[in-house]
Amino acid sequence: MDFFSGNPSTNKLSLGVNEEDVLKAIANSGYPLQNIISEQLKEFKVTEEWSFVDRDTLDLRNIDILAELDLYNHNDYPDTKVRPGLSLLIECKQTSLPYVFFATNNIPYMPHFPMYSGLRENDYIDIKSDNTRDTWSFSINHIFNLQQHEFVSNAPLYSKVFSKCVRKGKEIELSGSDTYNSVILPLTKALAHYSNVVVPPKTAQYFDCYMTLGVAIIDGPMIGVKVKEEVNNINYVPWVRVLRHEHEEGESNYIKGKHYVIDVVHKDFFNTYIDQHLIPFANNFGKLALKHARVLASGKGTIKGMAKNPWSDLEQRLL
């Protein structure tokens, strides 16, 4: 028996509800897009409706998809101190009206992007040198020179302000904070929760190091706007990197909080985003993590020649 064939005599819709209304409600819900994206992540371990604790309300909430991928082969590295992986926290949105992203040329320093989870010290490595008594604390991205990679440094559009078109009578206007609250805020909260739940025990000797990103998938128009003196044209964009500054308790005065980074990707560009941009970058990180597994596991390393050259070619000189 075909489970989906049903029995017409016992499976009729209630009075006042027709199939077209139901199909429209399903199409607008976001669930079909969630299923489509899950199917495209064939190489990943996918958990749909992944739950997390809201850091503000302490309520249990859900993100559409958690997708995890190993960046190493266990048979090739059975005793590695650090097992690198890629984790994507994904929220799916469907809309008939456009999202509007205002481009920024002021791209901040982003030492926390991508976020790394699962180590004793997720982001920073304490560095000593062979020819000076000075010490440094560098982000993993800085030491591995990942900040220069095209995936990090060359997204099509960077935006700090974005909104969604909504109808007001016969007119179209831009919404207020609802767009941020429904798209970006759940992802930043899910990222914070994920980072907390994968913290290793203090006695750990082996670690899972997850490159962790928040991604919003949009099934609908995405418009990028570059504002100078006036707006006289719009451009449809497939991928926008949204930057959101948040205060973090315990951060140093020098850092003054952190920028959460969310990649907003059109559904038709998602495969390209994964295959041609994210995965090559993640694989690069995976190789470096395996090469320097003991440094990542201990959170400490030595770099030769720091007295003369403290800023460039760090990975090549990392012991």
CA dist., res. 142 & res. 123, Å (int) = 10
Instruction: Report which DSSP code applies to 132.
Output: -
10-residue averages of pLDDT along the chain (319 residues) = 50 67 71 90 96 90 96 94 97 92 83 88 85 88 90 91 88 80 91 93 93 96 82 84 73 58 96 97 97 95 86 87
Alpha helices in the chain (DSSP H): 19-28, 31-40, 140-143, 150-153, 178-179, 185-197, 270-272, 279-291, 293-298
Is 127 within 8 Å of 303 (Cβ atoms)?
yes
* Dihedral angle over CA of 40, 45, 48, 51, nearest 10: -140
- 119 contacts: CB under 8 Å, gap ≥ 6: 82, 200, 207, 209, 296, 297, 299
Residue 49: its pLDDT value, please?
Answer: 94
Give the C-alpha separation, 113 to 260, whole Å.
8
Count of C-beta atoms within a 10 Å radius of residue 275: 12
> What's the confidence (pLDDT) of residue 158?
93
Amino acid identity of residue 136, one-letter, is W
Give the phi and the psi of residue 234 in degrees, each rounded to 5: -130, 155
Residue 304 near residue 317, CB atoms below 8 Å:
yes
Enter the pTM of the model. 0.87
Spans of all domains in the chain: 19-126+135-292
Separation of alpha carbons 188 and 54, rounded Å: 10
What pLDDT score does 148 carry? 86
